[in-house]
Every structure is written in C-alpha cells, then in structure tokens.
Amino acid sequence: MNARPIPFDNSYARLPERLFVRQAPVPVAAPELLAINLSLGRELGIDAAWLQSPAAVRAFAGNELPEGAEPLAQAYAGHQFGGWVPQLGDGRAILLGEVVDTHGRRRDIQLKGAGRTPFSRGGDGRAWIGPVLREYLVSESMHALGIPTTRALAAVATGETVYRERPLPGAVLTRVAASHLRVGTFQYFAARQDVEALRLLADHAIARHYPQAETPLDLLNAVVEAQAKLVARWMSVGFIHGVMNTDNTAISGETIDYGPCAFMDAYHPETVFSSIDRTGRYAYARQPEIAAWNLAQFATCLLPLMGERDKAVAQATEAVQRFPALHASEWLHRFGRKIGLAQARPADSPLIEAFLRGLADHGHDFTNSFRDLAEGRLPGGLEGWGADWRARLRAENAPEAVMRTANPAFIPRNHRVEEAISAALEGDMAPFRRLHGVLAHPFDDQPEHADLARPPAAHEAVHQTFCGT
C-alpha cells in the first residue's frame, strides 16, 4: 500500500481563505461500508488495496484524514426558488481535496453529510442513508447514460441516528466532481463586490473546465453552451432535477446536487415531484427556461470583470440569449436520435413533438415508449403518427441501431429507488446492488431484469420526492 493512497493535488485550498473555511469532517460512531465504486477509484488513481481496506471506510466516514487531504467547506450564495440567499455554503459537505485522474482531469473528492461547518445555519451537517443511496444510484445511472454528472465513490453508514420526521440511520456520501464551483459561488463574491475573488474564481474555472477560454466572456459563453447541452440531455431521458437553484448549477456543466430529483414514468411536460416545489417552478418542461435564468445570474456576476459597463452588459446579454438556440439544437439532435434519425433537421421537430403530445395524451411511459420504437412497436393511439414516422425513416440508414443507443431500457425508476432504500433500512443491500448493476448498462436488454424496466403499478407509483436534508 502507498503511504499516500489518494494522490491529492489540491488547488482550491491555495486560493485566499475568504473563499472557504478550513474545517475537518466530524467523526462518526461506527462507520460501515454500504457501497464502494472500485472502477471510479481506479480512474482517480486511488490505491486499489487501500480502497478495499478498513482505512478507506474510516476515511470516507470522516474519521481519519487520508494523507494530503486539506479539508475545507466552500462559501457560496444562491437564488433558491427565485429568492436571494446571500450566504449558503457547504453546510454539511467537506472538500477533502483534488486529484488529477488517469485521464489528466482534475477532480474534487468531497464528503457529503460529514458534520457541521460554519455554513450549517440550523442544520445538523448530516445526511441519512435514503438521500445518500438515492444520489449514489441516480448519479451513477446518469453517468452510464452518458450525461455529465458528479459521481459517487462511496457510501458509508455512520452508526448514528439522524432526526428528520423520524429517527433514521445516518450516512456519508463521497462525491467526485469536476469541481464544486457553482453559479452561487460567483454570486457570493459578486454580492460582496469582491472583484478580486471573482477574478480568481473565473481564472480557476477557466483553468479547470474551459482552458480554451481567454476572457470572462469566453467563460460565460462556454458555460451557457455546457448548460444548454446538459439540460437538453436531461430532457432526453425524462430527468427532472427538482431544485435548479443557482447554488445547484455547476460551472463545469455537470449535473450536481441530487435532492428530490426523479425520472418521469408517464410522460407529461408539467411533471413535478419535489414536495417543496409547490408552484411547479422546476417542472420538467420549464428546465431550459430556468437554466437560462440561472445563467443570467452568472452573467451578472461576471460583469465587473468584463470592462466598460454598457459594452459588457450588451455582450453578456447576447451570450445568455444564445441559450435557446443552443438548447434547441441539442434537443433536436437528442430527440431525433430517439426516433431513429442520425441527423435530425429543424423540419423534423413537428414529428418529434407530435410523438410527445401523443404520449402525454395517452399517459404513456416516456422511457419504454421510445425504447419500443426500435422494435417497431408503437404506443397505443399513435398508429397514425407511425405512418408519418415510417415514411421519414425510409431516408435513414440503420435507424434501429441509432434508437437502441439513444433510448435506454433502464432508468432509476422512483419506486425501484425507494424499494432499494427501504431494503437498506432493513439491512438488506441486495436490491440496491442489483439496481446499481443493471443501471450500469442501461442500453442493454438484460431480460432477466425486465421487472426493473416496468413502470410502476398504480399502487407503486411515487408522486412526491423530498430533499432529505
């Protein structure tokens, strides 16, 4: 075993201290491993023997700092449901440090649920195993679907009780991210008119995520493009983030902060799961509009770095206004592939939209209705649409192959995620492991696991999800 099992190479900890607070994780009573991601560990260059040892479990519980870790809690602010909150920050997350992975990419390693920090406000700094296992399953599923996302390296039970509506077993998630820079990180310093910090953050973001960018305007344009593509990809798998607050919008373009997120079963554009989203602000179909709103907040933060005010405002506005066209183009590409078109054209949009309208009218399952198209099976009531579709497909090469790689057979359906969590609460991790294993290959048929592809029966359907904080 190496003396330094995690090859830390920290850069955020070198930034001025007002960007964060140095804070060690708070040890827990009795760490016990729930899940470990060995392939991600390999990719990060973590010592394989160590990763499977009790020392790793202690490290991922926050009980023992691996050598080279420089733990800290990051400062950030944010708009939550449109309302400005000047100080949020890592209230229950501790950044251990960064590694440069085997592909040369810098990645953060963070413990989520690692105890109180100066940013905890009224919170206990902890998480219970429900949201930890949910984030593990859903983020790993997103990765397998090819969608930019933070990853899950480990989940460890703490042996401590967390009090929510009822006493629940605590857990810590080890999250890996391209970075934890959020729109809200920039907002924190913009609100304090700390231009020097904004400049450092912009430089840090450019170096880590968009090295081709030379100016803050280039950075803005790159983030607009990354978010437009990301949200189009969410739309293409029926993903609803649930809390698209500016503090949950990553500058890297990764999906971050899986709280009350969910994948739709039956398609409807107004679908909302989150119990706290009473007005449907973050409904499925509103996600592109909200992402653009969040990017406008980011643009505002960068203005002090962009030179003469009027010109900067005009350039920033233009950059954010590129969002709808960038999103529409990626949406068309993704949904075109879902109906078998390798290169959809704008004239194909009505055909895609008619299919979605048909799904909504008949309450059909989003995932399975698209998956069935590759076998030539049309959802009931869409036979008329099928004639137009087949006519269009005649101009295409191998549309079935395109559809099979664009339409997953397996998504983390809510009722299955809940089932895995309920079993884990009884000490049985087998349903979690089976679901995780199947979701790792979402485009394979896996007929022996067909039950995991079925939409919920009426009595199994989950209509609400919770932040779990």
Give the binding site for ligand AMP (CB under 6 A): 88-92, 119-120, 123-126, 243, 248, 257, 259, 467, 469
Active site residue 247: yes
How do strand 20-22 and strand 78-80 relate by DSSP bridges? Answer: unpaired
CB of 225 to ligand AMP, least distance (A): 24
CB of 37 to Mg ion, least distance (A): 21
CA angle 62-181-98, nearest 5°?
Answer: 45
| Interacting partner of 54 out of Mg ion, ligand AMP, none (Cβ under 5 to 8 A depending on kind) | none
Cα–Cα distance, 295 to 298 (Å, whole number)? 5
Question: Which candidate in 47, 90, 247, 265 is catalytic?
Answer: 247
Binding partner of residue 123 among Mg ion, ligand AMP, none, CB cut-off 5 to 8 Å per kind: ligand AMP
Nearer CB in complex with ligand AMP: 79/416: 79
- Comparing CB distances to ligand AMP, the nearer of 23 and 369 is 23
Contacts of residue 422, Cβ cutoff 8 Å, sequence gap at least 6: none
Q: Which is nearer to ligand AMP, 216 or 260 (CB)?
A: 260
464: Cβ contacts below 8 Å, ≥ 6 apart: 273, 274, 275
User: Which residues, in sequence order, are bridge partners of residue 247?
Assistant: none
In the bound complex, what is the minimum distance in angstroms from residue 271's beta carbon to ligand AMP? 20
Of 92 and 413, CB closest to ligand AMP: 92
Rounded least distance, CB 359 to Mg ion, Å: 31
Question: Other C-beta atoms within 10 Å of 196: how many?
Answer: 10
Residue 124, binding choice from Mg ion, ligand AMP, none, Cβ under 5 to 8 Å by partner class: ligand AMP
**Does 248 sit near Mg ion (CB under 5 A)?**
yes
> Which partner, ligand AMP, Mg ion, none, binds residue 92 by CB below 5 to 8 Å per kind?
ligand AMP
Residues whose CB is less than 8 angstroms from the CB of residue 352 and which lie 6 or more positions away in sequence, other chains included: 332, 335, 336, 338, 339, 344
Both tokens of 436, joined, read: 């995780």
State which amino acid sits at residue 100. Answer: V
Residue nearest to ligand AMP according to CB distances in the complex:
123
Residue 389: contacted member of Mg ion, ligand AMP, none (CB under 5 to 8 Å, by partner type): none
Binding window for Mg ion (CB under 5 A); candidates: 67-75, 104-112, 159-167, 257-265: 257-265
The piece of 39-47, 101-109, 249-257, 459-467 that touches Mg ion (CB under 5 A) is 249-257
CB of 185 to ligand AMP, least distance (A): 12
User: Please, which residue, 41 or 259, has the CB nearer to ligand AMP?
Assistant: 259
Amino acid at 182: R
Pick between residue 258 and residue 410 the one whose CB is nearest to Mg ion: 258
Q: By CB under 5 A, tell whether 257 contacts Mg ion.
A: yes
Q: Determine the Cα–Cα distance for residues 231 and 327; give it in Å rounded to an integer.
A: 7
The interface partner of residue 194, options being ligand AMP, Mg ion, none and the CB cut-off 5 to 8 Å by kind, is none
Minimum distance, C-beta of residue 234 to ligand AMP, in the bound complex (Å): 17
Q: Interface residues with Mg ion (CB under 5 A)?
A: 248, 257
- Residues identified as active-site: 247
